[in-house]
Structure 1
Amino acid sequence: MTDGSEKYWYNLKTGEVEKGFESPAPDRAGPFDTPEEAAKAPDVIRERSRAWADEEAREDSWGSGPVSDESDADQ
């Protein structure tokens, strides 16, 4: 297993791709295998955030939909 010093990171503050641990951890997104993948980090983050928000919305609304009354179906 390789450590992150040989991987690529996206610097959230500068928008630059970095190799290894150039900036503090809170400022980095990654790791990525290639600089091209790291450059796409904002898109990846945006898509994952959207997916998580959609999933949370589904979980928050679970069980709150219309309840069918089975006794009505028999009539």
Structure 2
Amino acid sequence: MTTEEQYWYNTETGEVEEGRRSSWTHLMGPYGTRAEAQQALESAKARNESWEEDDEDWRKK
């Protein structure tokens, strides 16, 4: 898969980019589809919440 076939979520603009066009400091990805890139923030939030729950369970042990 080339960079042009990947999608990135730009946290500065809130837009999905096909191919890496902006500074890496504003990008999340790469994602295989535009839909995955559009869900980047929601996916990150869910992943972070899961990790926080895992950390809390670990601390209780």
User: What's the TM-score once normalised by structure 1's chain length?
Assistant: 0.72
Aligned to 1:44: 43
| Structure 2 counterpart of 1:71 | none
- Which ranges in structure 2 are unaligned for 5 or more consecutive residues? none
Bigger relative CO (Cα 8 Å, ≥ 6 apart): 2
Q: Which amino acid aligns with 1:24?
A: S
User: 1: CA distance between counterparts of 2:59 and 2:19?
Assistant: 39
Q: Structure 1 unaligned runs (5+)?
A: 63-75
Secondary structure, counterpart of 1:15 in structure 2: coil
The percentage of aligned residue pairs carrying the same residue is 33
Based on CA coordinates, which of the two structures has the bigger radius of gyration? 1
Structure 1 stretches of 4+ moved >4 Å: none
TM superposition score normalised by structure 2: 0.86
- Looking at structure 1, the residues matched to 51 and 8 of structure 2 have their Cα atoms a distance apart, in angstroms, of 22
